Amino acid sequence: MTNDFLYPIIDIVEWLLVFFTLYAIIVPIGGLKRVKKRILAAPKSTFAIFIPAHNEEKVIGPLVDSCRRLDYPKALVDIYVIADNCSDGTAEAARSRGAVVLERTNAELKGKGHALEYGFAEVFKRRDYDAVVVIDADNLVKPDFLKVMNTELLSGKKILQGRMDVKNPNDTWVTAVFAMSIWVSNRFFYYAKHNLGFSAALGGTGMCISSDVLKEIGWGATSLVEDWEFTVKALINGIKTDWVHDAVVYDEKPLAFSQTWWQRLRWVRGQFTVAFRYLPKLLKRGIGKRDLVALESVVQLLTPFYILTATLMSLVFLTGLRQYAFDPFLGRILFSTYWEAIWITQYAAFSFIMPVAANIIDGGPRAALKYLILFPIFQYSWFLLAWIGVFTYRNGEWMHTAHTRAIEMMPEENPMPETNGMLAEVEAE
């Protein structure tokens, strides 16, 4: 009788897993579409560029210089560095390069989300802007970034996410595989979703938000993943995030695997926090308004839970415990052969075919691909991170990622020389 009760539930869960896996295979097809050359509108929008920075003295200067070199009328742009709880020379370094510095000290409310909340409130007291742009302190910005964003804003779009590339993909095997992950996400997830009419997600840097939206719904995103939190909050209010593939910023990636571990654990914890906090509201929006964009984002919000279930299924399958299932219904859900076949196919494609395709299509540095064989190690570590994250998501401590590579030019302007892992690790220390 117990099994009769469980069978319908198991059937539902099984088909949901198949749906999630097929979703991960079908969506990337949208990324094969060619990026159309954009006709840029005349500069009109005013921008406030915000650079939240915590102890970024070593890298803040090149970014401020990069922002000052943007191909956009200087009278329409102001650069603000939020020196957040800094104990080094971040404020002085930014000020000496021509940025307006907002110094903030708050031992209780730490993290990027709180820094931006403070920065937005302070700046809007001084001047109205058409939009705000947020750039991480270790980044560089492509010269036409604001021209592209201006064109999108004038077309009526409200929340925009530019393409994030990597400025140091050749430093170590870790930066190389991290870059591959970014390239795949850019082309076969966010650009693909854009082509399918769905919402992208803010990525923390290279994001542009209309001031009207901030005034309407407020910022209020102070979790460990403030970017994803604001994305979901906006979706609940019927505003999607548009992907802008040719507005590019270059991000610095950590040199050591241990650094990426703690950084990504913070992200995973934040993703679970956002899911628990906003899932009912987003689902209500999707069903009540028949909003397919919101419903598709529900799928993305549930992804960490899918990873948990998929990991459990695969572990049991691969360890041979299938033979010892004490009840037939366990075999139905945990050892579905066709699900395993689909899932393995999807991850094989994601681990080897997509990184190469994304690199070729979007013109990434070929040198990084020599580490392709190590890419699955990086990707599959997300599974362990998901399990740790779900049990520790209440830990809201902000973990700062140190940045040390003060690169002055973007990769295509000045290709960076190869460095061996040992040298790069010494630089990081």
Question: Is the whole-model pTM more than 0.85?
Answer: yes
Q: Which helix (H) or strand (E) holds 162?
A: strand 159-166
DSSP string for 125-160: TT---SEEEE--TT-EE-TTHHHHHHHHHHTT--EE
Residue-wise pLDDT tens digits, 23-47: 888 999 999 998 888 899 999 999 9
| 9 pLDDT more than 80 | no
Neighbours of 401 (CB within 10 A): 15
**pLDDT the model gives residue 50:** 98
Q: What are the backbone dihedrals phi and psi of residue 173, each rounded to the nearest 5 degrees, phi first?
A: -65, -30
| 324 pLDDT more than 50 | no
Take residue 47 and report the two structure tokens written for it: 């921008």
Residue-wise pLDDT tens digits, 194-240: 999 999 999 999 999 999 999 999 999 999 999 999 999 999 999 99
Whole-angstrom distance, CA of residue 385 vs CA of residue 391:
10
Tell me the pLDDT of the chain averaged across its residues.
Answer: 86
Neighbours of 426 (CB within 10 A): 10
* Confidence category of residue 380, pLDDT binned at 50, 70, 90: confident
Q: What residue spans define the domains of the chain?
A: 1-33+157-429
Residues 6+ apart with CB under 8 A from 23: 299
Whole-angstrom distance, CA of residue 149 vs CA of residue 171:
30
